[in-house]
Structure 1
Amino acid sequence: MDDETAEIELLEQNLRKTRQISQRMTSILSSFDTRLIKVEKSILPLYNASQMLGRRGKNIESAVQKIDEIKSNQEGIAAEEALILRGPQPGRIDEYKDVVERVNAGLVFGSLERETRDTARLVETGAKKLTQMYTKLVAEASSGTPINGTEFQLTSFPPAQMSALGPLVEFLRTLPLPATHPSHPAAAAIQASLKEAQKGYADMRGAWAKKCLELYGRRVVERSETLDGVKAGREFGVWVDNLLVVAEEEYNLLVELAPLATAGEMETTFAALISPLIDLFTSTLGSISALIKKSINKHTFLALSSHANLSLCQGKWDDFMCRRAGRTENELKDGLHSIRASCLRSFPELIADIRLAANGKGGELSTGLHDITISTIKYLERIPEVQSAATSALYTLGDGNWRMGDGVQIGKAPVKGDSDENAVLEHFMFDVVNAVIGTLQTLSRTGKRPSFGSIFLINNISYLRTRLLVKPQADILPLLSKPTQDIINSNFRTAKAAYFDSNLSPLMQTLQEEKDKGKAAIKEKFTRFFDVLEEVSERHKLARVLQDDREGREQMADEVVKMVVPSLQRFQQKYGGKDFSRNPQKYIKMSSDEVENHIRGFYAESDGKVVPVAERVENNRLIQAGWSR
């Protein structure tokens, strides 16, 4: 018990000590808290001030960083502006395009800290500088001296300029335009610059294309005055085809190099580009047409050949010079109408000129080939070369309307179904042949000596027949209808009969038997026969028969020999054997063989010597004198 009590007292003592210590600690802590409160009250203003200073420091630091950033941006903007204003430099085109593209992107998306108006003006300046470079490159490619050889060669676009223009045009096509960026402040100005550059492209390339072709155009006109008509017309057609080749090449270039590639802009630009080419074609065609109209008879085949060859170009002309340029005018079609009008006029004039030759106003008439015969043959032989054009023109004129003065109304349209085009051409050929034969017959009757007239007629009709039927030098026989061939052969036989009648009938008449069979009559017949034979011989020395037809002469000689020599032999056998004269050689001057050789001498080959001009003139004078005696 005592122990427990002692422990309890000990615990109570410890508890009292603990309570005292707690009271002391509480007193100390209270005092410390009071002091802390006093310290906090003293430090709080300083803390608040330091917080404010910290925030101000951070703001100052951020401001300094922003200032540095703005300063850096301003330096970059100034560099971009300087680069754009200076323009693209050689070897730095891509850098220039990147700057313009970056400035434009900043304007579109508002990422640049500059005035919108200034930025738009900068983009516009960059676009103008690039279009100026575009124009410069096009000008370099469209200058110099084109290839001017004897044959036309297409002058290609310089590769250096082409390689430089490709990327540039590709970039120009990405610039903002009102159609694609309606709210872009520089779109309208950029479009105006591109339009101006594209117009300059059309002007420069059009002038260059004309420069490449005009020398050849002048050459075509100059050669048309002296060159064969068919060939000259063919050259004209080749020149027009070359012009269309140039137009096609320029169109393909325009598709690649036009900054504004919309359909409307392409049509307008291409129309401006080909305008010089159309002017060149119109002036060249006008010169050719004027030459044809000045002398339609001389240049008939120039007109026909030109019409035929230009007609082949109509399809390409419609495509490139009209449809792709958005034009309704068709200068080639108008030119074809003009040339066709000349062609239509030429046919009646040809017939009229052939008939007019019958008046004999072409100078002194000889027994040789007449100019109208030679010119008509040349005309007919050229028809196959321009058959399509001649056939079409004749069909347009109307079947028979070329026969002026025969009661036919010129200009009357052909009745469909009456005849096809080939039949119309055959009818025209018949009328030409018939007209020239009629003229030759009239001319052969102009003199008072039928013998010379018959030689003239047989020479010309035979030449006509040989060149058209027997030995044609052109593929003309298919164009000559059976009536045409019949009229030539019939008139050849008639001309030959007239030749025999006027030149050999008097000779044959001397050998005819008469009632008076006395010696004097026989002597007179022999004398008369050899006198007439000598006259015929002299006549054939002056007037050669079928001079350019060896086979014809040989055939003619055989026929004459068969006609004369057997009759002479019979007469000699019947009367020459009698004692009609003591000196028969006085009257029978040649044997039948000698007479045959003499007759064949009429048609012998000429010696080939060149006859002096004075002698030829004298021979013509003698023939003319004998013809009209």
Structure 2
Amino acid sequence: MDDESAEIELLEQNLNKTRQISHRMTSILDSFDTRLARLEKSILPLYTSTQILNRRANNIEKALLKIDEVASSQEGIEAEFSLISRGPQPGQLSVYTDVVERLNASIAFKQSDQDSLQTAHLVETGAKKLTQLYTKLVAEGSAGASPPPGTDATANLFPEDILASLNPLVRFLRTLPLPATHPSHPAAPTIMSTLKEAQKGYAEMRGAWARKCLETEAKRVLDRADTIDSLNAGKEFGYWASSLLNVAEEEYGYLVDLAPLTTPALIASAYSTLLNPVLVLFSTTVTSLIAFIKRSLHKHTFLALSSYESLVLLQSKWDMLLSRRGADSRKETKTNELKDGLHALRAVCLRSFPEFLADLRMASMGKGADMSTGLADFTNSVVQYMDRLPEVQAAVGAALVTLGDGNWKMGDGMKTASGKSGEGDEQVLLQHYIYDVVMTTVKSLTELSKTHRRPALGAIFLLNNISYLRQNIMLEPRHDALRDLLSLPTTSMLESNFRTAKAGYFDTNFSPLMQALSDDPKEKGKTAAKEKFTRFFDLLEEVLERHKLARVLEDDSEARESIGEDVIKLVVPALQKFTNKQREKEFSKNPQKYIKMTPDAVEKQLKSLYFEG
């Protein structure tokens, strides 16, 4: 028990010590807590002030960083502004376009309107500088010496080196913001206006250059029209008109490739502007050509026909060309220069047919007493006219259809045809027209031959001319196609008049010879025989002298020899018979006095008139 009491007492002592320690610890902690509260109360204002200072320090640092950023941005803008203001430098187009493209892209990310407007102004300035370069390059490609006359006007129409510079520039210009693609872009309206002006300038410069390239050749065509063959002159005009279309075609291709604005309406409008000086040149050239033709229509008929035929062949290509000007342009102008030119040329061609016939009729009013027995000028003209008809058959046929069957005879007192002709009647009308030309020529030749004071020479004149017509129109035309244009009435009429002319030649030149040798009941006896021989040889001498001066069918040896054979068959046998008959009657003791030439000698003399060698 003592032990347990001792242990209990010991425990109580330890417990008391623990309580004392705990009390002292609690007192210390309370004191520490009080001191901590006092410390917190004294430190709190400093802590609050420190937080405010930290925030201010952070704000100051951020402000400094922003100031540095703004300063750097301003320096960049100033550098870009300087680059943009200078414009693209040679060989540095990509550098310039990259800056413009970067500025344009940055507009979408600018936080302030002020920044966007400033950048848009730079983009606008860059677009204008690039447009100025574009206009400068187009001007350089549209200047210089025009192609020499007689060369291809489309050759090197746009220099390759300038095209190489323009192509990348145009590709970039087409990426610039426009109202249609960037409706909210501040610079889009101004850029659109700038590009429109540049495109208009392009069209005007290229149109003026195209005209310059064609103008020299147009002048050459007009100058040569009076110095070269009419048909060739008309073909040259056709080649020039075709060259004009080729140039216009080439220019359209360039416009499509090089126009900054590619909408169909704007391309059509620019093309209309480009074509205007070219079409004006065409109209003035056609007007000058027609004025030249009208000054001497009979001389330049085939120039008109050939030119008309050449233009007709270009009509479909011309219509396609004009269709590219756009519907609005066509409504505004309401003109088709080719059709206007065709109408004017066709009117000249229509005039030529009745005027040609009128000239042929007027030819019969010449002075027959003073004319030669050779070819009349109008005979040559008719043959040349016929030679050329097949070469412009299409143009002549179309014109005659417009004129109407028989209406080319206006003014000769005959009624014009009342029936209407149309497509498909060209061949028939050509045959009718050629018949009237040949008939009018024959009538004028016949009337003219009758006015000669010496009928024998008039007969030679008629034979020579009718034979020349027959030979060169019907038998041996220069163009075989002419035979297809000769109707049966035409060939029959020519053959009939040739026979009539030949009969007239024999009648006026050799009938007196034959009459001198004919038996006349009233003239008998030796004296009559002597007079007949004298008259025969006197007449023969006149015939020989006449034929030495007035050659018969000089350019047709075959026909001339044929007539010579007929003359010999007519004269020599009659002389032989008459001579033999009179010798038998011993009409004279000295017959050589009256029979100046033997029949063989007469035949030889006659052969000298008709046979060569």
TM-score by length of 1: 0.92
- 1:142 is matched with 142
Q: What is the Cα deviation at residue 157 of structure 1?
A: 1.0
Q: Report what 2:267 is aligned to.
A: 266
SS at match of 1:359: coil
Q: CA offsets per residue over residues 251-282 of structure 1, 9 Å max, x none?
A: 11111111122222222211111111111111
Q: Which runs of 5+ in 2 are unaligned?
A: none
Counterpart Cα distance in 1 of 2:426 and 2:290: 25
Q: Residues 405 and 421 of structure 2 are in contact (CA less than 8 Å); yes or no, is this contact kept in structure 1?
A: no
8 Å CA contact retained: 1:397, 1:413: no
Rounded to whole Å, the distance in 2 between the matches of 1:364 and 1:108 is 100
Q: Which whole-Å CA distance do the structure 1 matches of 2:47 and 2:226 have between them?
A: 114
Aligned counterparts of 1:111 and 1:144: Cα–Cα separation in 2: 51
Q: Where does residue 168 of structure 1 map in the other structure?
A: 169
Distance 2:288 2:407 in 1: 28
Tell me whether 11-20 or 558-567 shows the greater mean CA deviation. 11-20
Q: Is the 8 A contact 1:322 1:329 kept in 2?
A: no
Q: Per the alignment, do residues 109 and 314 of structure 1 end up closer, same or farther by CA in structure 2, a change over 3 Å counting? A: farther
1:359 equivalent to 2:360? Answer: no
Asked whether the equivalents of residues 176 and 190 of structure 1 are also in contact (C-alpha less than 8 Å), the reply is yes
Superposition deviation, residue 179 in structure 1: 2.9
Deviation at 1:417, TM superposition (A): 7.3
The partner residue of 1:581 within 567, 588, 591 is 588
Which stretch of structure 1 is more off in the superposition, 98-107 or 72-81? 98-107
| Aligned match for 1:494, one of 492, 496, 500 | 500
Computed over aligned residues only, the root mean square deviation of the Cα atoms, in angstroms, reads 2.1
Cα deviations by residue, 1:155-191 (Å, 9 ceiling, x for unpaired): 3311221122112112222222233333333222222
Distance 2:346 2:284 in 1: 18
Residue equivalent to 2:284: 283
Match of 1:557 in 2: 564
* C-alpha contact 1:202 1:270 (8 A) present in aligned 2: yes
Question: Deviations along 1:413-439, whole A, 9 cap, x unmatched?
Answer: 752479822111100000000000000
Over 3 Å counting, the alpha-carbon distance change for 1:571 and 1:418 in structure 2 is farther
State yes or no: 1:603 paired with 2:603. Answer: no
Contact preservation (8 Å) 1:400, 1:408? no
1:262-311 per-position Cα deviation (integer Å, ceiling 9, x unaligned): 22222221111111111111111111010111111111111111111011
- Determine which of 367, 372, 375 is the counterpart of 1:369: 375
Shift in Å, 1:111: 4.8
- For structure 1, the 5+ residue unaligned runs are 607-629
Contact (CA 8 Å) 1:368, 1:543: kept in 2 or not?
yes
> Are 2:373 and 2:461, in contact at CA under 8 Å, matched by a contact in 1?
yes
1:261–1:356 Cα change, 3 Å = same
Secondary structure, aligned partner of 1:156: coil
Q: Which residue of 1 aligns with 2:427?
A: 422
Shift of 1:604: 3.6
Matched with 1:128 is 128
Q: Distance in 2 between matches of 1:160 and 1:441?
A: 72
Distance 1:92 1:58, change over 3 A: same
Q: Is the 8 A contact 1:322 1:330 kept in 2?
A: no
Q: What CA distance in whole angstroms lies between the structure 2 residues aligned with 1:222 and 1:363?
A: 40
- 8 Å CA contact 1:138–1:201 kept in 2: the answer is yes
Q: Which residue of 1 aligns with 2:440?
A: 435
1:152/1:362 CA distance change after superposition, 3 Å: farther
Aligned residue number for residue 511 of structure 2: 505
Q: Which residue in the other structure is 1:571 paired with?
A: 578
Q: Does 1:401 align with 2:407?
A: yes
Amino acid at match of 1:198: Q
Query: Alignment partner of 2:370: what SS?
Result: coil
Distance 2:415 2:340 in 1: 25
1:133 deviation in Å? Answer: 0.8
Distance 1:36 1:108 in 2: 59
Query: Which amino acid in the other structure matches residue 438 of structure 2?
Result: V
| Contact kept in structure 2, 1:395 and 1:414, CA below 8 Å | no
| Shift in CA distance, 409/577, structure 1 to aligned 2, threshold 3 Å | closer
Partner of 1:625: none
Which AA in structure 1 matches 2:425? D
Report what 1:542 is aligned to. Answer: 549
**Structure 2: distance between partners of 1:449 and 1:354:** 23
User: Relative to structure 1, is the Cα distance of residues 290 and 362 closer, same or farther in structure 2, using a 3 angstrom cutoff?
Assistant: farther
The residue type equivalent to 1:240 in the other structure is A
Q: Which moved more, 1:436-445 or 1:585-594?
A: 585-594
Give, in whole Å, the separation in 2 of the partners of 1:521 and 1:160: 104
Contact 2:235–2:307 at 8 Å: present in 1 too? yes
The aligned residue for residue 31 of structure 1 is: 31
Letter of the aligned partner of 2:561 in structure 1?
Answer: E
Call closer, same or farther: CA 1:285–1:533 in 2, change over 3 Å: same
What CA distance in whole angstroms lies between the structure 1 residues aligned with 2:176 and 2:367? 78
Asked whether the equivalents of residues 149 and 216 of structure 2 are also in contact (C-alpha less than 8 Å), the reply is no
Deviations 1:57-89 (A, max 9, x none): 222211111111111111111111111122111
Residue 479 of structure 2 aligns to a residue whose secondary structure is coil
The answer as to 2:68 corresponding to 1:61 is no
Name the counterpart of 2:8.
Answer: 8
Show the counterpart of 1:627. Answer: none
Residue 402 of structure 1: SS of its match in structure 2? helix
